[in-house]
Structures are given as C-alpha cells and as structure tokens.
C-alpha cells in the first residue's frame, strides 16, 4: 500500500499483532510513569500519572485503585503489578458508550468537537510532547470534513485506524451505528455559579464577612474560590508558608523539571532606551506603583503590577514591528474594561482592540471573530510604551475562569456519561500512546517527502498523483467552504492558498481533506504564509499583511 494514499488504514495495526504490541505498549507506559528509572513506580509517581486524567476519572475509583496498587506492600509498583492494574478487559475493543467517554476526555470544553489544542493538552498531560509538525500530522489525518476539528464520528474512525474495534453495547440492537449524541455548544457559564446563599449564624457571618454581599447573602463564587485557595495552600505544605497562595497550580498534577521547587513568577524585565521616560509612562499612564530597587547599576526602575514586578533596565530595546497584534506583550487585568478607552483617549494614548480571542467555546468551524462588540470575545486593548513594547489591558479573568474551571461546570458535560474507571484509564492511555507514536511516524514520512523533488512543486495534480490520489472531476462544495473558513485562522496551512488554490488541492486529492492538506503542505515547501487577525483602531477595522515564515527542519 502506498504510504500516502487513503490516510485511514495506515494509522492502524492488524489484529494479529495486537497482543504482542499491547505488551510492548504496557512496557512503554510503565517506563513513562517510572520517572526516576528505578525499575519500579513509586506510590507518588503512580498517583501523579493517574491524576493526569483529572476530572474525567471517577475519584472514588482512583482512590481505591491507588490503595490496592501496591500488592507487595513495599511502597512501589513493579511491572507485573502494573500489568495487572492496566490489563483489565479487552483493551482493543471499545463500546459506543465508552467511545463517548473517551471523546469527552479529549473534548475539554464540551463543545462537541476536539480541537488541535485539546489533543495537545491531553497528550501533553499524559506525557506525550509532540512538536508542531507532529500535531499538524495528527490533526489533518483526523479531519474528514475540512473544519480543522474532530467530531465524534471522526473520533470513532480515528480509533478504528489506531487498531481499536468499536462494538455495540450489550443492550444495543441497531447494527453498530454511532448513536452517541453530543450536546450543541451553549454559552459557557463562569467556572462556578454565583447565586446568593443564606447565612447560618452571626458567628459564621463574622468569619466569612469578606464574601457577604450588601444584601446580606454569601456570594457563592467568591466562597468557592476562597475554599480553592485554602486547598492550594494546604497542598503546598509548610515550605511555602509565606508564599502568595492565589495561584493556578493544580495540587494533584505532576510538576515536571524544576517545577517541583517553583511556585510563582517574580518579575518581567524590559530593556528600555531611557529609564526616566519609561518610568514616567508606567507611573502616569499605566498607573503602576514604583518600588525600591537595589543600587547595583546607575539606571533602572522597578514597579509592582499587583502580583508581579516590572523591572526596567537601560539598554537597546528589541520590539515588534507593530504591523499586527501577534506580539509579545505584558497583559494587565482590569475590573472595568469599558472605562479603559476613555482613560487612554483622555491621555492621548493610541490603542488597538483585538477581536480574535473567544471567551470559551465557539461554534465549530467559525474561524476568527470579526466584530469589535461581540459578546463572545474577551475585550483586549493594546497600547505601546515609549520604546514600542506592547501592553494588553483586558478583562481576561473570564477566560481564566474558563481555562481553569471544573469541567463538570461546563454546559453539556456528563449528560448520561459516567466518569472513567480503571479499564477506561488503561484504554485512554493506549489511545494517547498510539496517537503519539503514529503522529511521529507520519511527521517523519512527510519530512522524507519534503526532502524530495516534490517539495515546492507548484503542480497540485502532480503532487496528488505522487501521493496516490485519483483526481476528482468536481470539487466537494461543503469541504471547500470549510477550508475557506480556515483561511481566517492564524497559522493554518490554508492561509497559503486562495479559493482557486484550495479548489485545485481538493480536486487533486480526490476531495480528501487530509490529502489536500498534504498537497498544500508539500507545495508550500519551507515557506509557510501567516496572516494575523484583523484589529480595530480608531473605530475602524484594520486588515493585516501576510508574512512568510521559513521552516527550520531538523535532520
């Protein structure tokens, strides 16, 4: 079989090989959890690995599993014990109800589809760190309709391609068709509700006075947040007793590298041409408070940004060109975002409004937001300091709540789907491992083609035939429409093409979206076109210019 034809079966493995491969995979999973390479998984290592499944795993099952894991009573798990834990049931058979559970494990925001970012999140959490080329390979091999995202039908086909068999639940009698239903996207609520709660007693009221509203009720959201901070403080232990506890760390998640001894950021440093001029800007325009600075050189100034310091150092600034808002920047949170434009205008400070960041879930295939007053976006105003460094003033806390909130607080979560058990965890681990391995293999295969004479070839049909595709006579209008939407997504390969080019790529690939993406990628060669999202300045929409990025391919 041509390595580049079809794009489906090549991800799979024959059933005859599954038993041996599963044993090898168990060893790979064991070695991943055995962080110190001692040949045994410690209690802490196993607990950290199981917590990678986060809120999608039944906490009671996890607790019982950890208690029973150490059969030998020596405080660690050897490979035989690990194999017994992870080899429950038929690892290569997945029922349709299990399929939905695994889908929702990846679908972090319960939108009804899985994005590249969500695949990266869970794979990274499981210890599979893929580079951008490998993630592109994974994403395009899944995407059948051109939306750039994976729905439950595509996810089922993905699992089949990975060697899993999708079977009926015992009470099903409809012939094996997918009968899972994903709730449609809804407006995403904040991480917790904020309804008022009655006060029990005067003593209780005195203790929780900071979270009592003027009407005499308890603000539920603030009370829950206070309890979360208390939980974090306890989890950090006595070594960090003097530290600020209002941090984002999940105490149950593994912290890699020197993360085991880190707890927060201290400061950001900027190289400025004139310390006095910049200090005046950050004091008078931004409103930061200057703090004491050690006398270790002549020029410099330090400020507090509320929870982080800003250090100004004299030197040669290195700043962005300013043609768009894809820039390195410092983001400052505001509790009244609607006051920001008036304040900046009164002080004569020019600014731009970004419109590309959603508050949370967006409709599948909707592309980049294009409205300055949409209720679906985070409000962000960008301005520049005297040297040209960018600052963002935003109401980003709504996005923080979305990113860090509990999954079961999102619309559509767990509607008739049970949390993962240990058998599910073992299968999900295998899914992650196989996804990672296949993505790496296909990225390597693409690199081999990119190193051939086909790289940069302008002939769509020639590339398509070399990849084993039979050209189509008519383009699939629905797929073309989806690819056109993706032209608004920053960094998507579709930004390399106009409508004519997308049409030619689809036709050359026989209307296979993964094939068309392969053709576009090979045609682009090492030059990838990026078009940043538009922004608003002085009330008018400003379109951005495209720029080319030369890919540096490793040998």
Q: How far apart are CA 368 and CA 118, in angstroms?
A: 18
The boundaries of the domain holding residue 530 are: 455-550
- Contact of 45 with 34, CB cutoff 8 Å: yes
Residue 189 in any domain: the answer is no
- pLDDT value at residue 72: 63
pLDDT band at residue 393, thresholds of 50, 70 and 90?
very high
Report how many domains make up the chain.
Answer: 4
Check whether residue 170 and residue 23 sit in a common domain.
yes
Mean pLDDT of the chain: 78
Give residues with Cβ within 8 angstroms of 146, minimum separation 6.
478, 479, 480, 481, 482, 483, 486, 513, 516
Check whether residue 163 and residue 310 sit in a common domain.
no
Q: How confident is the model over 449-478, as pLDDT tens digits?
A: 888 888 889 999 999 999 999 999 999 999
Q: How confident is the model over 223-281, as pLDDT tens digits?
A: 777 776 676 556 555 444 444 555 777 766 677 788 878 878 899 999 999 999 999 99
- Contact of 376 with 306, CB cutoff 8 Å: no
Q: How confident is the model over 522-536, as pLDDT tens digits?
A: 999 888 899 998 899
- Contact of 167 with 94, CB cutoff 8 Å: yes
Q: How far apart are CA 427 and CA 350, in angstroms?
A: 54
Q: How confident is the model over 347-390, as pLDDT tens digits?
A: 999 999 988 877 666 666 666 666 677 666 788 999 999 999 99
459-463 long-range contacts (CB < 8 A, ≥24 apart) are: 460/501, 460/504, 460/505, 460/507, 460/508, 460/519, 460/523, 461/504, 461/507, 461/508, 463/508, 463/518, 463/519, 463/522, 463/523
- pLDDT value at residue 240: 46
Residue 447 in any domain: the answer is no
- Contact of 449 with 464, CB cutoff 8 Å: no
Check whether residue 132 and residue 166 sit in a common domain.
yes
Say if residue 192's pLDDT is above 50. no
- Report the run of H or E that residue 229 belongs to, with start and end: helix 220-236
Check whether residue 303 and residue 369 sit in a common domain.
yes
Q: How far is CA 71 from the centre of its chain?
A: 37
Check whether residue 42 and residue 104 sit in a common domain.
yes
- pLDDT value at residue 507: 96
Residue 29 in any domain: the answer is yes
Q: What would the mean pLDDT of 97-121 be, rounded to a whole number?
A: 85
Check whether residue 16 and residue 119 sit in a common domain.
yes
- pLDDT value at residue 33: 79
- Contact of 516 with 509, CB cutoff 8 Å: yes
Q: Which CATH number goes with the domain that contains 152? A: 1.10.238.10
The token pair at 458 is 């302008």
Check whether residue 77 and residue 206 sit in a common domain.
no
Q: Which CATH number goes with the domain that contains 320? A: 3.10.180.10
For tokens 């390597």, what's the residue?
Answer: 444
> What single string gives the DSSP state of each residue in 308-359?
SEEEEEES-------SSS---EEEEE-S-GGGHHHHHHHTT---EEE---BS
- pLDDT value at residue 117: 84
pLDDT band at residue 52, thresholds of 50, 70 and 90?
low
Q: How far apart are CA 196 and CA 130, in angstroms?
A: 45
Check whether residue 162 and residue 224 sit in a common domain.
no
134-148, 228-242, 303-317, 483-497: least confident range: 228-242
CA angle 489–329–402, rounded 5-degree value: 60
Q: What would the mean pLDDT of 324-341 be, rounded to a whole number?
A: 92
- Contact of 99 with 166, CB cutoff 8 Å: yes
Buried b (16+ CB within 10 A) or exposed e, 111-129: bbbbbbebbbebbebbbbe
Give residues with Cβ within 8 angstroms of 415, minimum separation 6.
183
pLDDT band at residue 30, thresholds of 50, 70 and 90?
confident
End-to-end CA distance of the chain: 26
Q: How confident is the model over 400-443, as pLDDT tens digits?
A: 766 766 665 555 555 555 666 667 777 888 888 889 988 898 88
Closest C-alpha to 191, from 420, 438, 335, 398: 398
Of 442, 463, 490, the residue that ends a domain is: 442
Q: Residue 417 carries which DSSP code? A: -
The token pair at 182 is 């994903």
Say if residue 8's pLDDT is above 70. no
Q: Residue 116 carries which DSSP code? A: H
Check whether residue 372 and residue 385 sit in a common domain.
yes
Strand 300-304 to 309-314 pairing: antiparallel
């Amino acid at each position: 079989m041509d390595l580049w034809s079809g794009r489906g079966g090549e991800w799979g493995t024959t059933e005859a090989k599954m038993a041996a491969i599963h044993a090898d995979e168990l060893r790979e999973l064991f070695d991943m959890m055995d962080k110190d390479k001692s040949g045994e998984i410690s209690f802490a290592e196993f607990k950290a690995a199981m917590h990678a499944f986060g809120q999608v795993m039944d906490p009671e099952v996890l607790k019982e599993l950890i208690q029973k894991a150490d059969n030998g009573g020596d405080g660690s798990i050897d490979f035989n014990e690990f194999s017994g834990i992870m080899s429950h049931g038929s690892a290569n058979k997945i029922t349709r109800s299990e399929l939905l559970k695994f889908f929702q494990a990846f679908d972090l925001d319960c939108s009804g589809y899985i994005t590249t970012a969500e695949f990266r999140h869970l794979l990274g959490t499981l210890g599979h760190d893929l580079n951008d080329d490998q993630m592109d390979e994974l994403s395009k091999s899944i995407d059948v309709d051109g939306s750039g995202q994976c729905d439950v039908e595509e996810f089922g086909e993905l699992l089949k391609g990975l060697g899993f068999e999708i079977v009926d639940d015992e009470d099903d009698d409809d012939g094996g068709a997918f009968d899972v239903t994903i709730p449609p996207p809804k407006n995403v609520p904040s991480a917790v509700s904020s309804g008022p709660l009655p006060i029990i007693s005067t003593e209780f009221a005195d203790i929780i006075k900071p979270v009592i509203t003027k009407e005499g009720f308890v603000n539920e959201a603030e009370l829950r947040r206070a309890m979360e901070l208390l939980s974090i403080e306890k989890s950090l232990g006595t070594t960090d007793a003097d530290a600020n506890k209002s941090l984002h760390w999940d105490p149950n998640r593994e912290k890699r590298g020197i993360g085991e001894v880190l707890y927060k950021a201290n400061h950001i440093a900027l190289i400025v041409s004139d310390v006095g001029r910049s200090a005046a800007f950050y004091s008078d325009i931004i409103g930061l408070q200057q703090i004491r600075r050690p006398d270790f050189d002549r020029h410099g100034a330090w400020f507090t940004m509320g929870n982080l310091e800003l250090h100004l150092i004299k030197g040669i600034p290195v700043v962005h060109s300013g043609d768009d808002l894809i820039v390195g920047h410092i983001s400052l949170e505001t509790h009244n975002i609607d006051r920001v434009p008036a304040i900046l205008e009164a002080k004569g400070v020019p600014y731009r409004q970004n419109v590309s960041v959603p508050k949370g879930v967006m409709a599948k295939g909707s592309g980049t937001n294009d409205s300055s007053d949409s209720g679906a976006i985070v409000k962000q105003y960008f301005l520049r300091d005297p040297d040209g460094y960018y600052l963002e003033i935003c109401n980003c806390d709504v996005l923080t709540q979305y990113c860090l909130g509990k999954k079961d607080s999102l619309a559509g979560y767990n509607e008739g789907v049970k949390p993962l058990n240990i058998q599910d965890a073992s299968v999900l681990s295998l899914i992650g491992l196989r996804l990672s391995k296949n993505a790496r293999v296909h990225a390597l295969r693409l690199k081999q083609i990119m190193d051939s004479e086909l790289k940069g070839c302008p002939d769509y049909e020639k590339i398509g035939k070399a990849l084993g595709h039979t050209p189509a006579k008519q383009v699939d209008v629905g797929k073309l429409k989806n690819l056109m939407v993706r032209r608004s997504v920053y960094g998507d390969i579709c930004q390399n093409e106009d409508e004519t080019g997308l049409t030619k790529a689809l036709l050359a690939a026989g209307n296979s979206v993964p094939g068309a993406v392969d053709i576009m990628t090979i045609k682009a060669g090492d030059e990838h076109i990026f078009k940043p999202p538009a922004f608003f300045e002085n009330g008018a929409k400003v379109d951005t210019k495209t720029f080319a990025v030369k890919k540096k391919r490793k040998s």
